[in-house]
Every structure is written in structure tokens, then in C-alpha cells.
Amino acid sequence: MSPVSPALLGGPAAFPAGLPLVRPTIPDVPALTRRLQAVLESGLLTNGPAVRELEERVASRCHIDNVVAVANCTAGLMLVYQALGVDGRVVMPSFTFSASAHAVAWSGGTPAWAEVDGQTLTLDPGDAATLSDGAQAISATHVYGAPCDVGALQRLAEGLGVPLVFDAAHALGSSSGGRPVGGFGTAEVFSLSPTKVAVAGEGGLVTTRDEGLAQAVRLGRDYGNPGSYDCEFAGLNARMSELHATIALASLDGLDERIAWRNQLVAGFKQTASGVPGLRYQQIREGDLSTYKDLTLIVEPGAFGLTTDQLAAALLAEGIDSRHYYRPPIHRQKAYAHLAQDRPLPVTDRLAARVLTVPLWSHLTEREVRTVADAVVRIQQNARRVADALVAADGS
Ligand SMILES: Cc1ncc(COP(=O)(O)O)c(C=O)c1O
């Protein structure tokens, strides 16, 4: 039992100056600043060599011929669904970020919610199969960077003869069975937004083996304009600027080392918090590598003694930020209330009520991460008093 009281009960806060959930890691800012200056001085702020270089570097690291840089992952997903002509049912998880579904909705499609696996938190291929009647596509998310069961999903999609789109927003640098994420399914779409392990400020990358699909996305990111201003379809302006591509290129430097470090940090957290009742983690499949874009705790309130809301409040008193990724799950969000939910999603609902994501950045020290874990241990050891204090504060 820790001799120190949780901050909520009067002990010293673990991080008096606060510990935010995420901070992007930008290696060598002075060198990047010089590269950005060169872009600014070139007068070529878009449609230039940095975007092409980024596409080539990602193609080479993902062992794939076609990479199209876009303004963000959401737009990339929208352009993929548009190019695939998806305007009907898309089997997809509800336990993912809202943009996975918004892209389907913007293209005129309708999500058909499937369960995730309760251990890996990625789309359950068996449950997805039960929804496959009339499906036009399957979408799956490499949640927090953990690769989906890509083999089973590819077999399912091939059997149905429908495209398989991976929302790979979290997973640039992940691999499954030794093969880099980016090479699976019909297309994969990465995000380079500031909460990711590789960042551009804002940005996305579409990867695909399908040359025609790549061409359509390339055209689609540029209004659908082939250069003649005689647009072939209603596209978007979803280009990535040269400035963003330059940041992304710098962010690719050291990406594998940062991912290895994040895995080590997670191992340190788990070691410090080992034996805490009611606390478990997402399972990463044997042979797979996760970016650990997020470190998410799965808290069983009965055994742990606190709900995730109570744990979040106690962590906040320690100065530690956290988020309920993903609560509410998408099928419970207002934006999708119009969709008839004719089948329950007990695994998704259960998980959504039990997840709490805690800070993990690539330049955190192992000591800092273990300090977060220590705070979780301390809070759990004093769960009854913490719960009482929160109830009392609520009533005052
Ligand atoms: C799973 C998932 N999909 C899509 C997105 C959207 O990415 P972007 O912000 O690049 O559009 C995010 C953003 O965090 C995400 O977490």
C-alpha cells in the first residue's frame, strides 16, 4: 500500500504543473524551420516536391506502389468511398472515432454497426460477417495503432466481393505479421494530425495497390479537375500543402525508434500497475506491432472500485489529463440517432463505459509514465475513500 495519499484526498499532486494527454514530438525543430523557410522562399506552397517526396517515402516504408497525400484522414476516407462508389451499407465498428463513420455518411453510405473483439478492441470479423447481407464495403479501424485481424477481414471481404477499407489513422508504423500497415485491404488511410505518432500539423495519406483507385483519389483531392478545368466529378480540395508535407517528412525521421520507445513506456506502465484489480489493457495480436498512439486502460468498476469517470476525476486532481476514447460509441452519438439500431452492441457498450486513455507521448520519460501508473495504483488502493470524496463533492 502506497504511503502517499491520492491528491484528491489531500496528498501531493503527481504533476503539479499538469500532464496533458498528448504532445506531438517534432525532431530537430531548427532543421525543420530551415526547411520550412526554404519552402516559403520557393513560392511553391502546394503541388510541389515535398508532397511527392512524402508519398515516395511512405510508399517505400509501406511496401506499396500508390500513396496519395491528402489534407487529412477524414477527407482521404471520403475520397476513397466516393471513388469506390459506396452509397449503401458499410459494415463497420461503432467503437472507433466518429470520422470513420462520417466519411461513410458524406459519401452517401450508411454504417451498419458491428461489434469489436472485447480483447483487441478491433472489428470482430465473425460479427461483421453476420451483417454482410447487401453490404457494399467493410471498414475496420486499427484502434490505438493495434492492427486489426487483417487476414480474417481480408478473407471475409474477398468472399463477399466487397472492398475493405482500413481506417489506419493511428497506425503509421504499425505492422501485422511483420508486414507494414498500409499494404492491407483495398485501401488504408493514415492521419497525420497532432495527436498521432507521425504528424504534419494536419494531414492524411491514402495507400492502395489499386492503381485506378489511387488515380481517382488523386483527382478527387484536386476538385476532380484533371488539369483542364473540365471536372470529371465533384471532388474536394483535399490537397496537402508543401508546408504540411515538410513537417510530415521531418516527423518520419525516427518514427520507428519512437514507436519502440512507446512500447517500452507501455511495458513500464503495466509493470508498475501490475496486480491492480479490475485493470486490463488492449491485447496486441502475436506477431503484431502497435504504434501505441494511445495507452488506454480498461477498468472494471466492480473490481477496481471506481468508474472511469471517478478515476478520471482523481487523475485530474493529480494533474493528469485523460479521455474516454471512445465514449459515446458512434451508434449512440446524436449524429447517428436516425439509424435504426435493430441489434444490440453489448461488447461495444461495455467497453465504452470502461475505457480511459491516459497520457502517452513519444518524449515522455519512463519515470513520468511510471508516475502516472503509480497514481492509478494509489487511487485504486484508496478507491472507497476516493469515491466517498467525489460523492461528497458532488453533493456540496
Ligand atoms: C480512428 C480515426 N479515424 C479518423 C480520424 C480523422 O483523422 P483526421 O483528423 O486526420 O481527419 C481520426 C482522428 O483522430 C481517428 O482517430
DSSP string, 303-336: HHSS-HHHHHHHHHHTTB--B-TTSS-GGGSGGG
Residue 41 alpha carbon to ligand 1 centre in Å: 31
Would you call 327 exposed, middle or buried from its count of C-beta atoms within 10 A (0-12, 13-18, 19+)? middle
Give, for ligand 1, the residue of 73, 78, 94, 291 to mutate: max count of ligand atoms closer than 8 Å to Cβ: 73
Distance 99 CA to ligand 1 centre (A): 6
Residue 228 in 3-state DSSP? coil
- The alpha carbon of 264 and the centre of ligand 1 are apart by a number of angstroms equal to 25
Query: Do the strands 89-93 and 137-141 form a parallel or antiparallel pair, or are they unpaired?
Result: parallel
**Per residue, what are the HEC states of 119-180?**
CCCCECHHHHHHCCCCCCEEEEECHHHCCCCHHHHHHHHHHHCCCEEEECCCCCCCEECCEE
Q: Is the peptide bond before 49 cis (omega within 30 degrees of 0)?
A: no
Nearest CA to ligand 1 atom 1: 97
Distance (angstroms) between ligand 1 centre and the Cα of 166 equals: 12
Amino acid in position 308: T
Atom of ligand 1 nearest to the CA of 192: 10
Q: Which atom of ligand 1 is nearest to the CA of 195?
A: 14
For residue 204, the ligand 1 atom closest to its alpha carbon is 10
Looking only at the bridges linking them, the beta strands covering 187-191 and 204-208 are antiparallel
Give the span between the Cα atoms of 350 and 61, in whole angstroms. 37
Question: Which of 97, 121, 326 to probe ligand 1 with, by most ligand atoms within 8 A of CB?
Answer: 97
What is the 3-state composition of the chain as percent helix, strand, coil, each rounded to the nearest 5? Answer: 40, 15, 45
Nearest protein Cα to ligand 1, atom 8: 73
Architecture field, domain 255-395: Alpha-Beta Complex (3.90)
Detail the DSSP E strand segments found in 194-346: 204-208, 279-281, 295-299
CA 134 – ligand 1 centroid, Å: 27
Dist. CA 49 → ligand 1 center (Å) = 25
Rounded Cα gap, residues 145 and 142, in angstroms: 5
What's residue 6's pLDDT?
Answer: 97
Q: Which ligand 1 atom lies nearest to the CA of residue 75? A: 11
Determine the atom of ligand 1 nearest the C-alpha atom of 167: 3
Q: Which of 79, 191, 197, 291 to mutate to test the pocket of ligand 1 (most atoms within 8 A of CB)?
A: 191
User: Is 165 in contact with 186 (CB distance < 8 Å)?
Assistant: yes
- pTM as predicted: 0.97
Q: What is the CB-side half-sphere exposure of residue 17 using CA atoms within 13 A? A: 1
Looking from the CA of 97 toward its CB, the CA atoms found within 13 Å total 19
* Region for residue 312 given its phi and psi (left: phi exceeds 0; alpha: psi -120 to 50; beta: otherwise): alpha
Which atom of ligand 1 is nearest to 196's Cα?
14
Which atom of ligand 1 is least distant from the CA of 191? 10
Q: How many CA atoms lie within 13 Å of 154's alpha carbon, on the beta-carbon side?
A: 12
Q: Please give the span between the terminal C-alpha atoms of the chain, in angstroms, as a whole number.
A: 30
In the chain, DSSP finds a helix count (H) and a strand count (E) of: 14, 12
46 phi and psi, to 5 degrees? -145, 165
The protein residue whose alpha carbon is closest to atom 7 in ligand 1 is: 73
Torsion of CA 338, 99, 90, 77, to 10 degrees: 140
- How far, in Å, from the CA of 393 to the mean position of ligand 1? 36
- Quote the CA–CA distance of 353 and 284 in Å, as a whole number: 21
CB-CB neighbours of 171 under 10 Å:
32
Q: SS3 for 82?
A: helix
For the chain, the domains span 29-252, 255-395
190 neighbors 61 (Cβ within 8 angstroms): no
Listed in sequence order, the residues at least 6 apart from 200 whose beta carbon sits closer than 8 Å to its beta carbon are: 192, 193, 240, 244, 245, 247, 248, 251
CA of 97 to the centre of ligand 1 (A): 7
Q: How far is the CA of 61 from the centre of ligand 1 (A)?
A: 21
Strands 355-358 and 295-299: antiparallel
pLDDT for 396 equals 52
Q: Cell match 435493430: residue? A: 342
pLDDT digits (tens), the chain, 396 positions:
777 899 999 999 999 999 999 999 998 999 999 999 999 999 999 999 999 999 999 999 999 999 999 999 999 999 999 999 999 999 999 999 999 999 999 999 999 999 999 999 999 999 999 999 999 999 999 999 999 999 999 999 999 999 999 999 999 999 999 999 999 999 999 999 999 999 999 999 999 999 999 999 999 999 999 999 999 999 999 999 999 999 999 999 999 999 999 999 999 999 999 999 999 999 999 999 999 999 999 999 999 999 999 999 999 999 999 999 999 999 999 999 999 777 899 999 999 999 999 999 999 999 999 999 999 999 999 999 999 999 998 875
Q: How far is the CA of 74 from the centre of ligand 1 (A)?
A: 6
Residues 51, 242 contacting (CB under 8 angstroms): yes
Looking at domain 29-252, its CATH architecture is: 3-Layer(aba) Sandwich (3.40)
**pLDDT value at residue 332:** 96
Total residue count of the chain as it appears in this document: 396
Rounded Cα gap, residues 271 and 105, in angstroms: 42
Instruction: Please give the distance, rounded to the nearest whole angstrom, from the Cα atom of residue 265 to the centre of ligand 1.
Output: 23
Q: Which three three-digit cell numbers place residue 365?
A: 520519460
What residue ranges line ligand 1, CB within 6 angstroms? Answer: 72-74, 96-97, 99-100, 141, 167, 169-170, 191, 193, 195, 204
Amino acid at 10: G
